[in-house]
Chains A and B, each alone.
Chain A
């Protein structure tokens, strides 16, 4: 325990950090907590953005929909937005969850950039976000006709994500609904 001991401090700190990084490799930051997959969409009754009415779980379920968590403070959402338009044009119903945002800002955003959403759920306090386990915007949930969450994508939905991940699931789920 002489003066040399303190020279070992950086090494010890590094070992601790390396253990965290090792653990980090096993975790996927984009992966959703497994508890939510195949669980029903949580109940909610929240205001509908820009409309004088409330929107609840019953309004959303009934067909296969995307639930897109967004906010005007979210930089990546701006990147994602044009692609949501393209999905909407193809007939994919998208509900927005305007997460921890200001209504006026959100309305201005939709005014400027266009509105690809069927409706927007105002989650000002982030309560729905909490139930969903949102940890950052944008996030997109695929909810089937029975109201069960089938997939969650964290980050921007773009052509690649849609083609490789969401669309196959979406097609499978919609076909299933037709067959029933």
Chain B
């Protein structure tokens, strides 16, 4: 019964989404205030019905209703309840419903928090989001109904959730990622609303900035969690594989980063208007493209969903309507003449333009690498696979070139700056950064040029940040007053850039300085790695709720002092028979110690063991967390919460002309 309620709620949600997509948009066109005013209510109604539907599916999972096909395929009565719940989105059908739910959350959030928006703009924005909702809800209903029953012949027990997904990190990784992906639909909807209304001044940029920043922050955290999960769950200490599915989330992030900066220029200086509109469309298109790639089976990936050509065709059609439609609108409506606002080549505008160029090139590089196998196959040129060497070879120099300009961008001025001023301002930071770069790697195991370079770049960025920060604070009478003068959006910017520096340092240091020993060990053996002695104490069988495991116990000593006790496991899940490696990690700010079990060797209890020493690996994730928190902080800025202007409905637009 409950699954049928969920199914029915989803059908009602589709009807509401259709009304939301059509009626307020019609109202905005005909200037019918009553029709426009329906939008916020419809948005909330949509959330309620998709929410009911999602709750019903969750109940089916929690109650082990194996007559529902996705429950039977992805859950098991022995599964701990929290994983029964996360199994809801551990499969294609359920995760699509989550996608729709999150879209409705964003739509309702826009409806609730946009009291300062002119009704005309709000109704168009919500209509666009409603139209996206129509696409996804009908995708769910028509090709991937999560409530499909297996009647008669419901199995007694389910197939269990893929053991790789039975992990705390994976409970919140997909929701965060989707919050990011789907959140870019808000910037997209604002861009489309601006194009429809023809009002292309800086206001749409100001309205969509906080939403874009928050979506970007969610996506940063989502990607970070995915990388962290791969690190400890897959058991070989890797944290990024340039897998098509990873790329699918990384491309919107890269393009989203370009969008954040471009929106800043459009808001503050009224420049790059057409460009920013295009980026907003591009970022959301990449989110949709990511969905297409993951669910259509056009590319192979280690963690793609089960695929079905009908689904692929549906998303491709949807992609064609949304992206093709919005690009057509863009081609006809975007301002073709460049702004009259002028800026000198030596200015913050130029540096932000460079930022856009770098991030766009990075996005296209990843896009090209991801789609290359498909393109060659489609052209009949044979089958190819593109691996990490390509991505690293293009990506690393690109980022290395980006950072010097980042440091410069922070202290530069809008409109017109002076290279001589830069020289005076940044001479000292440059020297200090170089000095840091030269000395810092001396702390490592051995001197490494790449680490030196990364430290120079990060130090340059951090020093530039602090220099600018100091200028903003020092004018005040007291330090406290100076700090209070800093706006949330500046704090957010500060944190995000600091996070980026930490991330760069962490990635390079851990790539260059990690030590990894793979060896055969029996209980009683010990091995020294980077000054840490790993003692294999004993091997014990362990029983979990739905698995049995061999657990190795390790004591780790440094200079004779015990520093950690580690217990990696090799698990066998009972329902599927899959074997999983649970790595044991002693995390630290400056180094991780990592032990994973390989395979048993011989009969006498010896195992292949994998010991890692990973310096600064946490910096990468802490940096990403800082970036995410920075993104959230910017949205707290007061200027995004100004009261609604007196010209509420049509006044503003009538002046600007449609």
Q: Please list the residues of chain A having a beta carbon within 8 angstroms of any beta carbon in chain B.
A: 2-4, 6-8, 10-11, 14-15, 17-18, 20-30, 33, 75-76, 78-79, 81-83, 85-86, 108, 111-114, 133, 135-136, 154-156, 158-159
Does B373 contact A29, Cβ atoms closer than 8 Å?
Answer: yes
A8 contact set on B, CB distance < 8 A: 331
Does B324 contact A14, Cβ atoms closer than 8 Å?
Answer: yes
Give min CB distance, B334 to chain A, whole Å: 5
B577 contact set on A, CB distance < 8 A: 86, 159
Give min CB distance, A109 to chain B, whole Å: 8
Is B298 at the interface (CB under 8 A from chain A)? yes
Does B608 contact A112, Cβ atoms closer than 8 Å?
Answer: yes
* 0/1 interface trace, chain B 508-536, chain A, CB 8 Å (1 if under): 00000000001110000000000000000
Listed residue (A8, A10, A113) with the most chain B CB atoms within 10 angstroms of its CB? A10
* A114 touching B599 in the complex, CB below 8 Å, given contacts A11-B331, A25-B296, A79-B302: yes
* A111 touching B520 in the complex, CB below 8 Å, given contacts A7-B331, A20-B375, A20-B378: yes
Contact of A29 among B292, B300, B323, B610 (CB under 8 A): B300
21 A-B pairs whose Cβ atoms sit less than 8 Å apart in the complex = A2-B336, A7-B332, A7-B334, A10-B282, A11-B324, A11-B328, A18-B319, A24-B377, A25-B298, A25-B312, A27-B298, A27-B378, A29-B298, A78-B236, A79-B302, A111-B520, A111-B601, A112-B598, A114-B599, A156-B302, A159-B578
Known: A29-B297, A108-B518. 16 other contacts (CB 8 A): A4-B331, A7-B274, A7-B334, A8-B331, A11-B324, A11-B327, A23-B378, A28-B297, A29-B373, A75-B238, A78-B236, A113-B598, A135-B385, A136-B385, A155-B300, A159-B576
Contact of A112 among B299, B319, B520 (CB under 8 A): B520
Complex Cα spacing A111 to B578, Å: 22
Q: Please list the residues of chain B having a beta carbon within 8 angstroms of any beta carbon in chain A.
A: 234, 236, 238, 241, 274, 278, 281-282, 285, 292, 296-300, 302, 309, 312-313, 316, 319-320, 323-324, 327-328, 330-332, 334, 336-337, 371, 373-375, 377-378, 382-385, 518-520, 576-579, 598-601, 608, 610
Contact of B336 among A4, A17, A20, A75 (CB under 8 A): A4
Does A21 contact B298, Cβ atoms closer than 8 Å?
Answer: yes
* A24 touching B378 in the complex, CB below 8 Å, given contacts A29-B299, A108-B518, A136-B385: yes
Give min CB distance, B24 to chain A, whole Å: 26
B382 contact set on A, CB distance < 8 A: 135
Give min CB distance, A160 to chain B, whole Å: 8
Does A20 contact B312, Cβ atoms closer than 8 Å?
Answer: no
B296 contact set on A, CB distance < 8 A: 24-25
Complex Cα spacing A78 to B383, Å: 23
* A7 touching B330 in the complex, CB below 8 Å, given contacts A18-B319, A76-B302: yes
Complex Cα spacing A156 to B599, Å: 18
A15 contact set on B, CB distance < 8 A: 324
A23 contact set on B, CB distance < 8 A: 378
Complex Cα spacing A25 to B297, Å: 7
- Chain B residue nearest to A158 (CB atoms) is B578
Listed residue (A24, A28, A30, A155) with the most chain B CB atoms within 10 angstroms of its CB? A24
Complex Cα spacing A79 to B243, Å: 15
- Chain A residue nearest to B323 (CB atoms) is A14
Give min CB distance, A131 to chain B, whole Å: 14
Complex Cα spacing A24 to B295, Å: 13
Does B274 contact A27, Cβ atoms closer than 8 Å?
Answer: no
* A14 touching B327 in the complex, CB below 8 Å, given contacts A24-B374, A78-B236, A112-B520: yes
Listed residue (B320, B598, B600) with the most chain A CB atoms within 10 angstroms of its CB? B598
Complex Cα spacing A81 to B235, Å: 13
B300 contact set on A, CB distance < 8 A: 29-30, 136, 154-155
B520 contact set on A, CB distance < 8 A: 111-112
* A29 touching B327 in the complex, CB below 8 Å, given contacts A75-B302, A111-B520, A154-B300: no
- Chain A residue nearest to B609 (CB atoms) is A112
Does B599 contact A85, Cβ atoms closer than 8 Å?
Answer: yes
Does A29 contact B374, Cβ atoms closer than 8 Å?
Answer: yes
Contact of A114 among B285, B374, B608 (CB under 8 A): B608
Complex Cα spacing A25 to B128, Å: 27
B330 contact set on A, CB distance < 8 A: 7, 10-11
A10 contact set on B, CB distance < 8 A: 278, 281-282, 327, 330-331
Give min CB distance, B226 to chain A, whole Å: 15
Complex Cα spacing A3 to B274, Å: 12
Does B336 contact A25, Cβ atoms closer than 8 Å?
Answer: no
Does A18 contact B316, Cβ atoms closer than 8 Å?
Answer: yes
B278 contact set on A, CB distance < 8 A: 10
Does A29 contact B383, Cβ atoms closer than 8 Å?
Answer: yes
B298 contact set on A, CB distance < 8 A: 21, 24-25, 27, 29
Give min CB distance, A178 to chain B, whole Å: 27
Complex Cα spacing A8 to B274, Å: 12
- Chain B residue nearest to A21 (CB atoms) is B316
Give min CB distance, B598 to chain A, whole Å: 5
Complex Cα spacing A29 to B330, Å: 34
What 5 A-B pairs come out closest when comparing CB atoms?
A112-B608, A135-B383, A24-B298, A23-B378, A11-B327
* A25 touching B599 in the complex, CB below 8 Å, given contacts A7-B330, A78-B236: no
Complex Cα spacing A15 to B331, Å: 13
Contact of B337 among A3, A82, A83 (CB under 8 A): A3
Does B313 contact A20, Cβ atoms closer than 8 Å?
Answer: no
Complex Cα spacing A175 to B312, Å: 38
* A21 touching B374 in the complex, CB below 8 Å, given contacts A10-B278, A112-B520, A114-B599: yes
Contact of A82 among B327, B599, B601 (CB under 8 A): B599
Complex Cα spacing A3 to B600, Å: 68
Contact of A20 among B323, B374, B385 (CB under 8 A): B374
* A112 touching B309 in the complex, CB below 8 Å, given contacts A14-B327, A154-B300: no
A33 contact set on B, CB distance < 8 A: 383
- Chain A residue nearest to B337 (CB atoms) is A3
* A75 touching B236 in the complex, CB below 8 Å, given contacts A25-B312, A27-B378: yes
Complex Cα spacing A114 to B374, Å: 35
Complex Cα spacing A95 to B34, Å: 73
Complex Cα spacing A21 to B578, Å: 34
A76 contact set on B, CB distance < 8 A: 302
B375 contact set on A, CB distance < 8 A: 20
B610 contact set on A, CB distance < 8 A: 112
Complex Cα spacing A24 to B285, Å: 18
Complex Cα spacing A2 to B332, Å: 12
A133 contact set on B, CB distance < 8 A: 383
Give min CB distance, B546 to chain A, whole Å: 15
Complex Cα spacing A42 to B631, Å: 57
Complex Cα spacing A135 to B332, Å: 44
B384 contact set on A, CB distance < 8 A: 135
A78 contact set on B, CB distance < 8 A: 236
B600 contact set on A, CB distance < 8 A: 114
Does A18 contact B328, Cβ atoms closer than 8 Å?
Answer: no
A75 contact set on B, CB distance < 8 A: 236, 238, 241, 302
- Chain A residue nearest to B325 (CB atoms) is A11
Give min CB distance, A120 to chain B, whole Å: 16
Complex Cα spacing A30 to B378, Å: 14
Complex Cα spacing A101 to B430, Å: 44
B377 contact set on A, CB distance < 8 A: 24, 27, 29
B608 contact set on A, CB distance < 8 A: 111-114
A6 contact set on B, CB distance < 8 A: 336
Give min CB distance, B607 to chain A, whole Å: 9
- Chain B residue nearest to A19 (CB atoms) is B378
